[in-house]
Amino acid sequence: MKIAIYPGTFDPITNGHLDIIERASEMFDEVIVALARNSQKSPLFSESERQALVEQSLAECCPHRKNIRTDAFQGLLVEYATKRGATAVVRGLRAMSDFEYEFQMALMNRKLAPEVTTVFLMPHEEYTYLNSTIIRELAWYGKDVSTFVPKAVANALREKFEIRYH
């Protein structure tokens, strides 16, 4: 049984994340989409909001994929991966700009837990420019982001910023 962890902040989850999750679900017996609790970033959405959006988005995009699960973790990723019996950590690579940081993380993680391999997947070209920060910014300026994110996320962003404007 090959288990992979796909960790992230998912603030919020986008179609780029979902592309990577679907690709991973074809390669592994089980993919655990793992929300990082102790993110260094201060997220727009709370942990429970991000988790709910991940679940709703998966139900929306790929209900047929029975091998995708969701979870949240804190602490060191490799310790969590080992605890879950995972042998792979999946990361998305969009551009060279992702590379340096991801490369350092992957090597450090290999040092800490040689049995866990980092696997990099490239999304479809149309998602290579997409990231959660840009989505939050567009939504903040009132732009429609529904071509970049699942419906549940577009609605949640609309609600979040409507509340802020009042």
Residues forming the site for ligand ADP (CB under 6 A):
7-10, 14, 16-17, 20, 39, 91-92, 94, 98, 123, 127, 130-132
Nearer to ligand ADP, 10 or 80 (CB): 10
Query: What is the SS3 assignment for 78?
Result: helix
Nearer to ligand ADP, 123 or 150 (CB): 123
Give the whole-angstrom CA distance, residue 110 versus residue 104. 10
C-alpha distance from residue 15 to each of 103, 142, 156, 164 (Å): 23, 19, 15, 25
Q: Is 23 a catalytic residue?
A: no
Nearer to ligand ADP, 7 or 150 (CB): 7
Q: What is the identity of the amino acid at 29?
A: D
Q: Is 94 a catalytic residue?
A: yes
Q: Using CA atoms in the order 135, 138, 140, 146, what is the torsion angle rounded to 10 degrees?
A: -70
Q: Is 132 a catalytic residue?
A: yes
User: Which of 2, 41, 124, 143 is the catalytic position?
Assistant: 41
User: Which of 23, 57, 91, 132 is the catalytic position?
Assistant: 132
Q: Is 42 a catalytic residue?
A: no
Annotated catalytic sites, by residue? Answer: 17, 41, 94, 132
